[in-house]
Structure 1
Amino acid sequence: MAKQRKRQQKLKEQDTGNVTLKDGLNPEVLQKLKQTQYDLLEAEEQKKTAEKAKKLEEKKQRDKNKTFEELLNETPLNWKDYK
């Protein structure tokens, strides 16, 4: 009998422990939180896209301003073979 009571008490404690924050929140608040999460993810994605475009533009500018010597040094061809 004592073992059954202990088991029942443990089961009751486990059942009450399964209540989540989601269950206790107002549906309007939950919807607002989900919308905020979506907005933040979208803003982060836009920021990454803008950063990638900025890096690409900077690379183009660097390539545009390179000297002839820098361009020769970067080529994979061995110019000595063509002398």
Structure 2
Amino acid sequence: MAKKKKQQRQQPAQQQSAKSEALTLKDQLNGDVLEKLKLAKKDLVAKEQAAQDEREAKLAFERKQREKNKSFEELLNEYGDKGSKFNS
């Protein structure tokens, strides 16, 4: 039984040392390295946003082109009598 108690006492000490190591990671990094990482993160976020905007613009353009290329029959079937200013 004495062995179990010793093992239980050692585990919290190991957990505390692991927590202290994790907390000091920021301190261990050089300020320049940390700044480079932050800059790289901002750059990646900006690139992702630009790619998303480009995809949305492309989809809008394609949708507009499909609408533009519809035949009269397709337009009539889609819209029918809706939108006519002469309907009562």
Q: Normalized against structure 1, the TM-score is what?
A: 0.72
Aligned residues: 77
Extract unaligned runs of 5+ from structure 1.
Answer: none
Q: Normalized against structure 2, the TM-score is what?
A: 0.69
1:16 is displaced (CA, Å) by 1.4
Identical aligned pairs, as a percentage? 45
- Cα RMSD, aligned residues only: 2.6
How many Å separate the matches in 1 of 2:67 and 2:17?
65
Within-5 A mapping of 1:1-83: 7=9, 9-18=10-19, 19-20=21-22, 21-75=25-79, 77=81
Task: Return the structure number with greater relative CO, CA threshold 8 A, min gap 6.
Answer: 1
Structure 1 segments of 4 or more deviating over 4 A?
A: none
Q: Greater CA deviation, 48-57 or 17-26?
A: 17-26
Extract unaligned runs of 5+ from structure 2.
Answer: none
